[in-house]
Chain A
Amino acid sequence: MRNVVVVGYGMAGARLADEVRRRDPGGERVALTVLGDEPHPAYNRVLLSSVVAGSLTPDAVRLHAPDWAAKHHVDLRLGGAVTKVDRTRRVVHVDDTEVPYDALVLATGSRPWVPPTPGLLDGNGALAPGVVAFRSLDDCARIVAEASPGTPVAVLGGGLLGLEAARGLAGRGCLVTVVHPVGHLMERQLDAGAGRVLARTLQGLGIEFRLGTPASRYAPGEGLELADGTHVPADLVVVSAGVRAETALAEQAGLDVDRGVLVDDALRTSDPRVHALGDCAQHVGTVSGLVQPAWEQAAVLADRLTGVAPAARYAGTTVVTRLKARDVDLAALGDAHVEVDSPDAEVLCFQDPARGRYAKLVLRDDRVTGAIVLGAPDAAAAIVQLYDRGLPAPTDRLALLLGRALPAGAAEASPADLPASAVVCRCNTVSKGQLVTAWRAGATSLSAIADATRASTGCGGCRDAVCGIVDWLAASQPQSA
C-alpha cells in the first residue's frame, strides 16, 4: 500500500482524489490523505462567475458531498496550514502534526496578483476596505453582498475572468467599469479588432471600459484614479489582474521552481517522490491556470500513483478559451495573432462590429491553427471541433467562418421549378413526375391523387406540397373555350 499525501483540496487536488479512487475504489493500492487549508469542502472555481452572476448558489458548486471522504476512504483534513515539507524524513508538517508520505503531491494552486496601485492594500498588506479579489468562494460571497443594483463597481483587469465577473455584476444591475492597462481586452487571446468588437458588445450590455490606462490610486469610498487623470467611481473594486502560482512550500522544500513548480511529463518535481499539478505546476514552460490541464494531469498522475498505467505521460493540453458570459459568444484558440497577408498561413477575417460579429481563422496545411470567433455561436462550435480533432477544414471556408450567419439557400422552389424526379412524398417514394402522370390520368383532387399514388398517406407532411402541385397543374391547364 502506497501512502499518498495531497497538499491542496482545490479543483486539482479534488480531481486527483476522484481519479485515484476511480482506479482504486476500495483503497487497496493507495492510502490517500488530502490536506486543505480552506475550512470548507472543495468547490468548482470555474463556476464562480455563475455564482457572481446569481445563476448558481454557492452550495451548487461544491465538488463533493459532505460524506465524500468517508465513503471513498480518504483521510481529509481541512483548515490546517501545511507549514513545511521534510523531504529527508518524508513527512509533511500540518500545524503541530506530522503526516508521513511515500509520494507527495503539491496541488497548492495559485493566488491572485494585486497590481502595485497605491491604496489597494492596507498597512498590513491585506486588501483595503472595498477591495475584493475574484478567486475564492468567500470572495464571491463578499462581492455578492456588496453588489446591489445601482452600485458602482470597478473591475481591475480586462482578461477572461475579469470580463466574466463584469458580465455577472452587470446582470445584477451594478454600474460596472472595467479598467484595463492594455489597449484592448483579452490581449493574450484576441487581436485588436476582436477586442474592439468585444468591448462594443459588452458596452451594449451596460459595461463601461477604460482601456490603455492603468489605475494610479485607490481611495475607499471614492474609487479609482487612473493614470490619464480621469476618475472611476467605485464602492467596490474587484481585482482580477491575473494569478501567480503558489510555490512557497516548494521553494521552502528546496524543489526547483521557476514561475511554477517545475515538473516533467510524469508530473515529477526535481524530487521524484514529490509531484505537482494544476495551477502551481510548470510543465514545459507553461503555467496554465486553467482547469482542463489540471484535470488531464490528474488522470495521468492517478494512472501512475495507482500503478494502473505506470508509464502514463502528460503531453500538454490544447487550450481553447471560451468566455462564459451570458449573451456573449466568444471562442479563441491557438495562435490567432497572425496578419491577414501573412505569407505562411491562410488567414480569413470578417468584421461586423454593428452586429457584434468578428471571425478570424488561421489555417496551415488545411488545418485550423488559430481562430477568434465572436458572435457566431455555431461557427465557434464547428471550428473548435476541427481544431481539437485535427480535422482538415471544409473547402467552403466562408460557410465555416460564418456558420448560420451565412444567408440560407434560395427560397423554396415552386412546383414548376421542381424536376420530375424530385421525391415529394418521402414515406411512399412518390416523385413529382408520378403525381403529374396521375393528375393527367384524372386524379385531379388531393384525395384522388392520394388514392392513386399513396402520396400524403404516411406522415402527411407532404400534404401542402401535393396540394401545391395539384393547384399548379390546374392553373397551368389551358382554359377550355
Chain B
Amino acid sequence: MSIADGVVSPREFPTNRGGLCQKGWTSAELLTSPARLTTPLVRRDGDLRPAGWDEALDVVAAKLRALRAEHGPDSVGVFGGGGLTNEKSYLLGKFARVALGTSQIDYNGRFCMSSAAAAGLRAFGLDRGLPFPVADLGRADAALLVGGNPAETMPPFVQHLRGARLVVVDPRRTATAELATLHLQPAPGTDLALALGLLHTVVADGHLDEEYLAERTTGFDEAWRIAATWWPERVERVTGVPVADQRAAVRLLAEAENAVVLTGRGTEQHAGGTDTVSAWINLALSLGLPGRRYSGYGCLTGQGNGQGGREHGQKADQLPGYRKIDDPAAREHVKGVWGVDDLPGPGRSAYELLDALGQPGGPRALLVFGSNVVVSAPHSRHVADRLAALDLLVVADLVLSETAAVADVVLPVTQWAEESGTMTNLEGRVLLRQRAVAPPEGVRGDLDVLQGLATRLGQPAERFPTEPEVVFEELRRASAGGPADYSGVTYRRLRDGEALHWPVVAGGPAGRGTPRVFLDRFAHPDGLARFVPVEHRGPAEPPDAEYPLQATTGRVLQHYQSGAQTRLVAELNAAEPEAYVEVHPDTATRAGLAHGDRAAVVSRRGRTLARVRCVPSMRVDVVFLPFHYAGEGRANLLTNPALDPTSRMPEFKVCAVRLETV
C-alpha cells in the first residue's frame, strides 16, 4: 500500500492482490495519533517523566555498564520483535553480542513461528515459510489449512485460496472455516493425532505416492509404524473428527492435481507444536506434495516481518543468514564481518529469558524492542512480576504500551511510514519499505537508538550505522553463504521492482533469487526430505473436575498482536472494544451466565475478565478468547507456559479453565 496526505491506498501486489482490510485502511491514523510518544521518558520518584535523549541514553548506558561490571555481560538481556525490519533485527543481534557481549537475546517470534521453523528445518533442511511464491497458491486445486484463520488475520490473502477446495482444521467454526468445503473440528490439543490419522488413511485408501517417496524422501517406515497405530476410528475418539470426514479430507487432497498443506499458529503454539507440524509435513510428503510445482507445504507468517525477523540474529540460537550460533564456521564468518575476536554462545529462549529476569543467574536488565510482553507472553501475571524484579527495564516503542508503562526508561521510536527498511514476507521475498513521511519531532529510529547506546558503551560509531541501506550492505555480507543468503539483494534492485526470493547469491546461479526452493532437491546434504517419526501426546494441561473447560486463544480482524497500536485507532476499537469470551450457549447457562454478561475465566495461573458471547458452533467444552486486550482482559493471564522441547514454544493454544460469574 502507499500513503499520500495521510491517506492510505492499496496497491496491486501478489500478496494482497490489491486488497486491504480495516487494519490497513486505518493504519495512517497511528502516524498522527495523540497517543504517540514524542519524548523519552525516565522514571523518577516512581513516575515516568519526560527527559532529553542524551539524558535517557546516559541513564541506560550508565546502568548497563554498572551491571556488566558487577554481574558480567549476561546480566543484560534483549527482547526483540518479529515486526522489526531486517536491518533492525540484524543490528539488534549485533548490538547484543558485540556491544553488550550478552548471550541473552531472544524475541517474540519464538512465540510465533518457531515450531513451524523447527519442523521445516527437520524435514527439509531449510525453513522458508512458503518455499514457493504466494501466487502459486492460486494454482492449487485443494488446500488443507490447519490452525489458521486468514479470513480474520489477513483477509486479502484469502483470495489466493478461492480456486481451491478448502479443508480447514480448527476447533472453532471460524470465518475461514465458513469458507471451507470441509471443516474438521478437533478438540484443542489433538491435532497431532488427527494428522497421524490422515496419514494412516492416505496409506489405507491407496493414496501413498510411492514413487515420490523413493526418489525424494527418507524415513517413511518409522513414521508409518506410529501412524499405523492411529486408525481412523481411534483418531475419531481422541479428536472428535468423524471417520467419514477424515476420509473425505484425504480424498480431496489426493485427487487434486495440485494441493497444498498450510499450517498456522493454532496447530503450532503447543508444547508439542514442532512434532505436530512434523506430522502435517509427513502427510504432505506422503502425498508427494513438497518440492512439486504448484503444490507443497508452507506455514503462514504471523507478524509483519515474521520471516526476516527470524533470519538475522535476534534469536537466541542464531546468527545472520539463518546461521546456527553453535556452528564454528558460522561463528568465524560473522566474527570476520563484525571485526570481533569472540562471540557469546546460545542464550535462553523467549519465555525462559522472561522467567529468569531478576532471578539468581538471570538478567537484571532488559531492553525491549518492538514487543509488548506484558500482554503477549504466556502466564502474563508471572511475566509482569519478573519485569518488576529487574534493576532496569528499557522499552523502545511508538506508544506507551503496557510494557512501556512499567519501564524505567521509554524511548520513542519511528514506525512504518516514517522509516526505510526491508522486510521479508511469507514467501521469502525481500521487500523494501521506503520512508513516506517525516517522523514527529523528538522521535528517533531504532537504529539511532542502538548507535546511541553502543557508543556510550565504548563501541565505535561506524560499527552501528544508522542509515538502513548501510546496515543492509553489512547484512548482505554477514548473510553470504548462509541458508538465508541475501548477498545478491540490493536496495537498487528492490527499488527497481525485482521479485527477489532468498537465497539470492551475488554472482551465483541463484543471483536472480529462488522463488521455488525445493524443486530439484531439499536442503539436507543428501537432497532428500525427512519423514520424522512423531507420536501424539495431548495437551500439557488436560481438563479436570476443577478446570473442566479448555481455553484457546486467537485474533480478531480489527486488532493486531497485543493491540497496543490497534486499540488506539477509534474505528477499530469501536468494532471490537473489549475482551470477550466465546462460549457454547449451554456452557454459559450452566455457569449462570448469559450473552452479554461479564464473566471471569479462571485457570491455575490467573483470572481474566471478558464479555460473554454465546456461539452455538462452539464445542461445549471449549472457550475462545482474543489475546489483544490489556489489564484484566489479558487472555495470557490464563495461558500455560509449558514449552515445546525443540522450539521452546509455549502452549498458548490450550489450557484448562473454568467459567465464573462476577
Measured CB to CB, the closest approach of chain B to A267, in angstroms, equals: 21
Q: Which of A47, A394, A429 touches B22 (beta carbons < 8 Å)?
A: A429
Measured CB to CB, the closest approach of chain B to A117, in angstroms, equals: 31
Query: Do the beta carbons of A427 and B237 come within 8 Å of each other?
Result: no
Decide if B346 is an interface residue (CB 8 Å cutoff).
no
Q: CB-CB contacts of A13-50 with B at 8 A, as 1s and 0s? A: 00000000000000000000000000000001011001
Decide if B499 is an interface residue (CB 8 Å cutoff).
no
Q: CB-CB contacts of A57-94 with B at 8 A, as 1s and 0s? A: 00011111100000000000000000000000000000
Q: CB-CB contacts of A330-363 with B at 8 A, as 1s and 0s? A: 0000000000000000000000000000000000
- B residues within 8 Å of A by Cβ? 10, 19-22, 25, 151-152, 155-159, 175, 179, 187, 203-206, 221-222, 224-225, 228-229, 231-233, 236-237, 240-245, 543, 548, 557-558, 571, 575, 584, 586, 589-590, 619-621
Decide if A275 is an interface residue (CB 8 Å cutoff).
no
A-B contact pairs, 11 of them (CB 8 A): A50-B204, A55-B206, A60-B203, A377-B245, A384-B236, A388-B237, A428-B25, A429-B575, A457-B20, A461-B151, A461-B155
Q: Which of B20, B543, B548 touches A458 (beta carbons < 8 Å)?
A: B20
- Closest 8 pairs (CB-CB, A-B): A459-B155, A458-B155, A459-B158, A377-B242, A377-B244, A427-B155, A322-B233, A381-B242
Query: Do the beta carbons of A394 and B620 come within 8 Å of each other?
Result: yes
Decide if A305 is an interface residue (CB 8 Å cutoff).
no
The answer to whether A392 and B620 touch (CB under 8 A), given A44-B229, A60-B228, A459-B158, is: yes
Measured CB to CB, the closest approach of chain B to A132, in angstroms, equals: 23
Q: Which of B231, B237, B620 touches A46 (beta carbons < 8 Å)?
A: B231
Decide if A56 is an interface residue (CB 8 Å cutoff).
yes
Query: Do the beta carbons of A428 and B21 come within 8 Å of each other?
Result: yes
A391 CB contacts on chain B under 8 angstroms: 548, 620-621
A381 CB contacts on chain B under 8 angstroms: 236, 240-243
Q: Which of B231, B236, B241, B244 touches A47 (beta carbons < 8 Å)?
A: B231
Query: Do the beta carbons of A459 and B19 come within 8 Å of each other?
Result: yes
Measured CB to CB, the closest approach of chain B to A137, in angstroms, equals: 14
Interfacial residues of chain A within 295-337, with CB under 8 A of chain B in the complex: 320, 322, 324, 329
The answer to whether A426 and B155 touch (CB under 8 A), given A60-B228, A395-B586, is: yes
B221 CB contacts on chain A under 8 angstroms: 65
**What bracket does the count of chain A residues touching chain B fall in?**
35 or more
Measured CB to CB, the closest approach of chain B to A64, in angstroms, equals: 7
Query: Do the beta carbons of A389 and B237 come within 8 Å of each other?
Result: no
Query: Do the beta carbons of A55 and B204 come within 8 Å of each other?
Result: yes
B159 CB contacts on chain A under 8 angstroms: 459-460
Decide if A454 is an interface residue (CB 8 Å cutoff).
yes
Decide if A382 is an interface residue (CB 8 Å cutoff).
yes
> Complex: how many Å from CA A378 to CA B222?
31
Measured CB to CB, the closest approach of chain A to B91, in angstroms, equals: 34
Q: Which of A47, A385, A429 touches B240 (beta carbons < 8 Å)?
A: A385
A384 CB contacts on chain B under 8 angstroms: 236-237, 240
Decide if A470 is an interface residue (CB 8 Å cutoff).
no
Q: Which of A44, A65, A389, A457 touches B10 (beta carbons < 8 Å)?
A: A457
Decide if A176 is an interface residue (CB 8 Å cutoff).
no
Decide if A380 is an interface residue (CB 8 Å cutoff).
yes
Query: Do the beta carbons of A458 and B156 come within 8 Å of each other?
Result: yes
> Complex: how many Å from CA A320 to CA B240?
13
> Complex: how many Å from CA A55 to CA B224?
15
Count of A-B residue pairs with CB < 8 Å: 118
Query: Do the beta carbons of A382 and B240 come within 8 Å of each other?
Result: yes
B206 CB contacts on chain A under 8 angstroms: 55
Query: Do the beta carbons of B244 and A55 come within 8 Å of each other?
Result: no
Query: Do the beta carbons of A389 and B543 come within 8 Å of each other?
Result: yes
Query: Do the beta carbons of B151 and A378 come within 8 Å of each other?
Result: no
> Complex: how many Å from CA A385 to CA B221?
31
Measured CB to CB, the closest approach of chain B to A403, in angstroms, equals: 8
Which of B151, B156, B240 has its CB near the most chain A CB atoms (within 10 A)?
Answer: B240
Query: Do the beta carbons of A427 and B22 come within 8 Å of each other?
Result: yes
Query: Do the beta carbons of B203 and A385 come within 8 Å of each other?
Result: no
B152 CB contacts on chain A under 8 angstroms: 426
Which of A65, A380, A459 has its CB near the most chain B CB atoms (within 10 A)?
Answer: A459
> Complex: how many Å from CA A457 to CA B25?
10
Which of B203, B232, B236 has its CB near the most chain A CB atoms (within 10 A)?
Answer: B236
A382 CB contacts on chain B under 8 angstroms: 240
Measured CB to CB, the closest approach of chain A to B331, in angstroms, equals: 32
Q: Which of A56, A60, A324, A392 touches B586 (beta carbons < 8 Å)?
A: A392
Query: Do the beta carbons of A63 and B233 come within 8 Å of each other?
Result: no
> Complex: how many Å from CA A380 to CA B236?
9
Query: Do the beta carbons of B590 and A392 come within 8 Å of each other?
Result: yes
> Complex: how many Å from CA A458 to CA B229?
44
Query: Do the beta carbons of B243 and A377 come within 8 Å of each other?
Result: yes
Q: Which of A46, A64, A395, A461 touches B225 (beta carbons < 8 Å)?
A: A64
9 new A-B contacts at CB < 8 Å, known A64-B225, A459-B159: A47-B228, A377-B244, A386-B620, A392-B620, A395-B586, A429-B557, A457-B10, A458-B21, A459-B157
B241 CB contacts on chain A under 8 angstroms: 381
Measured CB to CB, the closest approach of chain B to A201, in angstroms, equals: 14
Residue on B nearest A395 in the bound complex, by CB: B586
The answer to whether A458 and B620 touch (CB under 8 A), given A56-B203, A64-B225, A392-B590, is: no
Residue on B nearest A44 in the bound complex, by CB: B228
Which of A56, A381, A394, A426 has its CB near the most chain B CB atoms (within 10 A)?
Answer: A381
> Complex: how many Å from CA A388 to CA B234?
12
Query: Do the beta carbons of A460 and B245 come within 8 Å of each other?
Result: no
> Complex: how many Å from CA A460 to CA B10?
13
A44 CB contacts on chain B under 8 angstroms: 228-229
Query: Do the beta carbons of A65 and B222 come within 8 Å of each other?
Result: yes
Q: Which of A55, A322, A389, A429 touches B205 (beta carbons < 8 Å)?
A: A55
A63 CB contacts on chain B under 8 angstroms: 225, 228-229
B590 CB contacts on chain A under 8 angstroms: 392
Query: Do the beta carbons of A459 and B586 come within 8 Å of each other?
Result: no
The answer to whether A329 and B243 touch (CB under 8 A), given A427-B155, A429-B575, is: yes
> Complex: how many Å from CA A342 to CA B501?
69
Measured CB to CB, the closest approach of chain B to A291, in angstroms, equals: 9
> Complex: how many Å from CA A50 to CA B206?
12
